[in-house]
Amino acid sequence: MAVKFVRPKIPKFAPDPWAIQFDDQGRLRHLLTIEGLGPQWITRILDTAEGFVSVTDREIKKVPLLRGRTVVNLFFESSTRTRTTFELAAKRLSADVLNLNLATSATKKGESLLDTLRNIEAMQADMFVVRHDQSGAAHFIARHVAPHVSVLNAGDGWHSHPTQALLDAFTIRRHKGDFTSLRVAIVGDIRHSRVARSQMHVLNSLNVGELRVIAPRTLLPTHVEKLGVRVFHDMREGLKDVDVVIMLRLQRERMEAGLLPSEEEFYRLYGLTEEKLAWAKPDAIVMHPGPANRGVEIESSVADGPQSVILEQVSNGIGVRMAVMSLCMSANRGENA
């Protein structure tokens, strides 16, 4: 007996994962990762950010650009600090902002994640700012979102945190100008850091002179050198002639997971103290994506010292996020506009 199967064609999965960031006219619609942006878009975002950073220096720190648009902060992993900077950026663009903290609610399964999306789309949202603890979550949401919604990745798992990397590049550019002659060192927990991955992409796209990572092998992912970095395990060697030192946050779980013996040993070997900072160039700047663990990865006198630009990073972050939001909304002015 013959069995008949007449079924519709099965759609094929998009082969280029980063192309989804652009619309059919080549405009930036979503910002999910630095990959695929290229130096032109990165530079354009940084240049646009200059204008917005100057707005935040004024008395009235607000422009009417996104009046009537709605930005929804979808935070599946709680992070007050990051959420606040996105919220402030959206508000300074005169957008309406909705904060949804979904970290505690029952949105752990993909099905309900899609359901959450559909519900918020129905509220005529224009942009989702997404933070999720799983790598690839922002891509997943961008793939399934309605055509009038832009997605901004505010950190997914260990994968990507593009606005953080852009604001770091912005801060470096303001202090150092040209990237091609710079030596930059990223220190600490690279393995679990979406920030470090995005920083590597952004700095290599901008053709940075040399990019180094300094960490014990337990905190480095397999084949990290394929991301275009030189690997060091020793701070004295790694910081030599460095113009920019980026410290990463070390989470306490790393000790429990057997990646490190103790905070004390990490601090002794890799914590940025005044003594170790002296191994870098005298005019080196010190950066940290925050919040810093003083006495674990960085000494207070360094974090608050003259070479630290940590607080500048925070204020630049608002301008950079304003720039990204405006650019993505430029591409997306469909049904709700």
Partner 1 sequence: MTQTDRLLPVNEAIERLEAQIRSDRQEGALVDPLIIGIHTGGVWVADALHRALGCSEPLGRLNITFYRDDFNTLGLHPQVSPSDLSVDVDGRDIILVDDVLFTGRTVRAAMNELFDYGRPRRIALAVLYQRDGRELPICADWAGQELNLGPDEQIHVDGPDPMTARLVTSKES
Partner 2 sequence: MKDAPENLGIDHDPVRHPEGCRPGLDCDHWVIRGARLRDPSSGLDTTSDIYLGGGRIVGIGEAPDDWPQDTAEHVCAEGHWLIPGVIDGWARLREPGQEHKASIATESAAAVAGGITTVVMPPDTVPVLDTVAVARYIKRRAQLAGRARVVAIGAMTQHLDGELLAEMAALDAGGCVAISNAHYPFHDLRLMRRALEYAATFDLQVLLQPLDPSLSERGCAHDGAVATRLGLPGLPVSAETAPLAQLIAMISETGARVHVPQLSSAAALKLIERAKADGLPITAGVSAHHLWLTEMDTDALDPNAHVIPPLRSIRDRDALRRGLAEGLIDTVVSDHQPHEPDAKLAPFPETEPGISGLETLLPLVLKLVEEDVLDFERAIDALTTRPAALFGLSDAGSIAVGQRADLALIDPDAMWSLGSIGMASAGENTPFVGWDFAHRVETTWVNGRRVFLREP
Residue 329 in contact with partner 2, rule: CB under 8 A: no
Q: State the minimum distance, in angstroms, from the CB of residue 319 to partner 1.
A: 10
| Preceding omega of 282 cis (within 30 degrees of 0) | no
Instruction: For the sheet with 96-101, list strands across it.
Output: 96-101, 70-75, 127-132, 150-156
Residue 335 in contact with partner 1, rule: CB under 8 A: no
The one-letter amino acid code at 188 reads G
Residues from 125 through 154 that contact partner 2 (CB under 8 A): 132, 134-137, 139-140, 144
Question: Which of partner 1, partner 2, none lies near 195, with the C-beta cut-off 5 to 8 A by kind?
Answer: none
Residues from 28 through 47 that contact partner 1 (CB under 8 A): 44, 47
Query: Cβ(167)–Cβ(195) under 8 Å?
Result: no
From the list 21, 34, 52, 229, which residue makes contact with partner 1 (rule: CB under 8 A)? 52
Residue 88 in contact with partner 1, rule: CB under 8 A: no
> Residue 276's CB: how many other CB atoms inside 10 A?
19
Residue 58 in contact with partner 2, rule: CB under 8 A: no
- Count how many residues are written for the chain: 337
Query: Cβ(149)–Cβ(94) under 8 Å?
Result: no
- Interface map 270-309 toward partner 1 (x if CB under 8 A): ----------------------------------------
**Nearest 5°: phi and psi at 91?**
-70, -35
C-alpha distances in Å from residue 181, one per residue of 39, 83, 173, 236? 16, 34, 12, 20
| Burial readout 161-185 (b: 16 or more C-beta within 10 A, e: otherwise) | bbbbbbbbbbbbbebbeebeebbbb
Residue 9 in contact with partner 2, rule: CB under 8 A: yes
- Contact range with partner 2 by CB under 8 A, out of 91-99, 216-224, 284-292, 296-304: 216-224
Residue 63 in contact with partner 1, rule: CB under 8 A: yes
- Contact range with partner 1 by CB under 8 A, out of 29-37, 62-70, 99-107, 199-207: 62-70
From the list 116, 160, 205, 313, which residue makes contact with partner 2 (rule: CB under 8 A)? 160
Number of residues counted as binding partner 2 (CB under 8 A) = 44
Query: Cα separation of 204 and 211, whole Å?
Result: 8
Query: Cβ(125)–Cβ(98) under 8 Å?
Result: yes
- Interface map 183-202 toward partner 2 (x if CB under 8 A): -----------x--x-----
CB hemisphere CA count around 44 (13 angstroms): 11
Query: Cα separation of 231 and 283, whole Å?
Result: 23
Residue 51 in contact with partner 1, rule: CB under 8 A: yes
Query: Cα separation of 287 and 228, whole Å?
Result: 20
- Closer CB to partner 1, residue 261 or residue 334? 334
From the list 54, 78, 112, 301, which residue makes contact with partner 1 (rule: CB under 8 A)? 54
Question: Which of partner 2, partner 1, none lies near 54, with the C-beta cut-off 5 to 8 A by kind?
Answer: partner 1
Binding site for partner 1 (CB under 8 A): 27, 44, 47-48, 50-55, 58-60, 62-66, 326-327, 329-331, 333, 337
